[in-house]
Chain A
Amino acid sequence: MRNERTKSQVTVEDLLSLKRAERPDAEFWHQFEHEMRVKQLAAIVEPRPWWASFIRVGSRMARFQLPVGATAILALTFLTVREYHLPEATDTQFISLSVASIAPVNTTEVAFANVIETTAPETITESIVSEANVMVASNEPATEPAYIAVEVQPESVYSPANEAIAANLAAVRAKTPELARLIARVSGVEEIINPRAPSKVVDPLVRVKTPSTSRTSRLLASALPATFSGERETRGSVMRVERSLTEDRVYDSISRFGVKADRLAISF
């Protein structure tokens, strides 16, 4: 090869041919032979593990790793999306009770209450809020049904007490709506304004006050008293006042006030 070129010419191929001349000596091969024999015997004696064949199969399948992996991910995603269901509101049960009353004024004449709709009657495990749809049949055909939320136990949904309470409330509502509203407010029973619309599920986290809310209300307390809702601060003030007031002082203060039927007298 080099005969065709001048002696001074050196190419990459010529330089690489130098690496061919990097050869070990005879002593190296003697040592190599010895080590090789030892390894060969060890390989014969040592049994191959049972999973060695699996590795061989796995290495053959290595070229399919990417498509198989991608397919698996796609299938998993598809199944997850397909099987995913939004959690249903099982802690509330809506029960519509239709109460027919012949005489709306007389609450004792309420005839019956029918359960019209129950969304999930068998899965209730705790106290539930049922929406009682109490329909009062009165002399006036245009009377709107009263919807009152009543807290009931699952096993007492059909109890006579519930029916009586619902019927009484319906009757009072029909006769004096203001009084019914007042009763509902005082007793803590919430009147539902629009019963046909499904109850809005509120995230419990939304109800939690953030530290920034209380901080804001505290800072704005002097400027906007209406927005001040710091219960902790109020409680602290009450405790402070209680500490500062001795019993004698309280008695003395009370004695200065005189309350009569329609008058309030203050003595200084």
Chain B
Amino acid sequence: MDALNSLGKTMVSSPERQQEADSDWDIVQRVQAGDVAAFDELSIRYRGRVYGMIYNMTSNREDAADLTQDALIKAFQSINRFQGQSSFFTWLYRIAVNSTLTHLRKNRLRTFFSLEKINENDRQSAEVIEALTDNTGAERDTFVKELQEKLNEAMQKLSIRHRTVVTLFEIDGLGHQEIAEIMNCSVGTVRSRLHYAKQILQAELQPYIRK
């Protein structure tokens, strides 16, 4: 068991992530021992990231909320089977990704956008918007809304697997190895999918790209 734990933990890339994984494992053990309320800590810790990942794949906030809840409940129900072979974060992400893929395959023909507002207090997004438009006020808001819709449309034009890889790498900031673990494929496949997806996105978002 310890060997398996150490093997899973070697997959975790950064020291911060390692520390997080250790903390998660402690909480998981408490939940497995019967402290059900301890699961709330895990839920609060990861719900934002899980929701963000699902939202960026579905482009629908209601679907994303439902799928996030379902993924957390599935994790809660199955936590006794979690043996620490990977980090809890990876395990939870795998559950969420699989649920989302199933949902997207079932509703392949239904694409309905329900978008969150872009938080312009975020420094990086404010810089990007500033580089794209000099407008202020209502015109700027309109431009941001239009850009957001174009971004989501471009994402929806990707296949489900390519969209997942882009979401996990570019938006959630996961490494190739972690993505390969979550998607149950090789690192080479992840890189290939990422390269192809970026080519498509570049073609779709050409009017907004400044070189």
Interface residues, chain A, CB within 8 Å of chain B?
1-2, 7-24, 28-29, 32, 35-36, 39-40, 43
Shortest beta-carbon distance, B90 to chain A, in Å? Answer: 19
B119 near A21: Cβ-Cβ < 8 Å = yes
Cβ–Cβ < 8 Å partners of B211 in chain A: 9
Shortest beta-carbon distance, B170 to chain A, in Å? Answer: 4
Name A23's contact: one of B68, B116, B130, B209 (CB within 8 Å). Answer: B116
Q: In the complex the two chains form, what is the Cα distance from A17 to B132 in whole Å?
A: 14
Q: In the complex the two chains form, what is the Cα distance from A117 to B202 in whole Å?
A: 87
Q: In the complex the two chains form, what is the Cα distance from A24 to B119 in whole Å?
A: 9
Name B128's contact: one of A18, A29, A43 (CB within 8 Å). Answer: A18
Q: In the complex the two chains form, what is the Cα distance from A192 to B164 in whole Å?
A: 81
Q: In the complex the two chains form, what is the Cα distance from A76 to B180 in whole Å?
A: 39
Q: In the complex the two chains form, what is the Cα distance from A23 to B210 in whole Å?
A: 25
A2 near B119: Cβ-Cβ < 8 Å = no
Q: In the complex the two chains form, what is the Cα distance from A124 to B182 in whole Å?
A: 70
Q: In the complex the two chains form, what is the Cα distance from A21 to B155 in whole Å?
A: 16
| Known contacts A12-B209, A15-B205; A22 and B119 CB within 8 A of each other | yes
B124-152 contact mask (Cβ, 8 Å, vs A): 1 or 0: 11011111100000000000000110010
Q: Is B7 an interface residue (CB 8 A)?
A: no
Which chain A residue lies CB-closest to B117?
A: A22
A10 near B125: Cβ-Cβ < 8 Å = no
Q: Is B76 an interface residue (CB 8 A)?
A: yes
Q: In the complex the two chains form, what is the Cα distance from A20 to B171 in whole Å?
A: 6
Q: Is B95 an interface residue (CB 8 A)?
A: no
Given contact pairs A9-B210, A24-B116, a sample of 10 additional A-B residue pairs in the complex whose CB atoms are under 8 Å apart:
A2-B128, A7-B131, A8-B131, A15-B151, A17-B170, A20-B171, A21-B118, A21-B122, A21-B124, A36-B69
Binds A, one of B21-29, B51-59, B104-112: B51-59
A22 near B118: Cβ-Cβ < 8 Å = yes
B153-189 contact mask (Cβ, 8 Å, vs A): 1 or 0: 0010000000000100011000000000000000000
Shortest beta-carbon distance, B55 to chain A, in Å? Answer: 7
Q: In the complex the two chains form, what is the Cα distance from A163 to B59 in whole Å?
A: 94
Which chain B residue lies CB-closest to A24?
A: B116
Question: Can you list 7 A-B contacts (CB < 8 A)?
Answer: A7-B127, A9-B131, A10-B210, A12-B209, A18-B148, A20-B52, A39-B73
Q: Is B11 an interface residue (CB 8 A)?
A: no
Q: Is B193 an interface residue (CB 8 A)?
A: no
Cβ–Cβ < 8 Å partners of A22 in chain B: 52, 55-56, 115-119, 148
Shortest beta-carbon distance, B46 to chain A, in Å? Answer: 12
Cβ–Cβ < 8 Å partners of A2 in chain B: 124, 127-128
B69 near A39: Cβ-Cβ < 8 Å = yes
Cβ–Cβ < 8 Å partners of A7 in chain B: 127, 130-131
Shortest beta-carbon distance, B123 to chain A, in Å? Answer: 9
- From B68, B129, B131, name the one whose CB has the most chain A CB atoms within 10 angstroms: B131
B205 near A35: Cβ-Cβ < 8 Å = no
Q: Is B201 an interface residue (CB 8 A)?
A: yes
B22-58 contact mask (Cβ, 8 Å, vs A): 1 or 0: 0000000000000000000001000110011001100
Shortest beta-carbon distance, A49 to chain B, in Å? Answer: 13
Q: In the complex the two chains form, what is the Cα distance from A16 to B124 in whole Å?
A: 11
| Known contacts A2-B127, A12-B205, A15-B151; A24 and B210 CB within 8 A of each other | no
